[in-house]
Amino acid sequence: MLLAAVAACASPPESSNVQVIEGAKTPAPGVVVTGRLDVDDVAGLRDSGIRHVIDLTLDGETPGFDEAAAVRAQGMGYSNLPVRGAGDLTLDKVQAFDSLLRQSPRPVLVHCASGNRVGAMAALRAAWLEDRPLEDAIAIGRAWGLTGLEDAVRMRIETGPPGNAGP
């Protein structure tokens, strides 16, 4: 639940009427990971203590919902780094992901549709930028939500970063 995840990395919520998001995780201090957000989720994030949202989805994944506008209307920061899937698991994207994580005020919420792309980026960040061994990087990725992209992540870690390749 988002409330529990945020409570672990933020000061107490300003309000007892906190929006809860099922399946939220806190894989690192000040970081909350979840799947897709909707307008009802966004309304409670600020009161839950979230200060910034990093969205790894493409605009077309949520037609009719302008997440950036909704998040900013609640007074939070917003960044979008679209990751389409395995083809976007490039060094450039991982470096951009790392930069967003480092620059975002805490607590920060990072999401895609399910957490899988978030976990993939976290695993590759651990391997490529933090020189973590393969199994450590995979464990980090799983803690951040890695599931279906695990084989693609393993292959990329074993072969090394693909550089600027990708669409």
Q: Are the beta carbons of 91 and 123 closer than 8 angstroms?
A: no
79-91 in b/e form (b: 16+ CB < 10 A) is bebebeebebbbb
Residue 145 DSSP symbol: T
How many other CB atoms are there within 10 angstroms of residue 128's CB atom? 18
Q: Are the beta carbons of 23 and 115 closer than 8 angstroms?
A: yes
Q: What is the pLDDT of residue 48?
A: 87
Dihedral, CA of residue 145, residue 79, residue 106 and residue 95, to nearest 10: 70
pLDDT in tens, 20-46: 477 899 999 999 999 999 888 998 898
Question: The tokens of 153 are what?
Answer: 């992540």
pLDDT in tens, 77-93: 999 999 999 999 999 99
pLDDT in tens, 106-155: 999 999 999 999 999 999 999 999 999 999 999 999 999 999 999 999 99
Residue 79 DSSP symbol: E
- Would you call 134 helix, strand, or coil by DSSP? helix
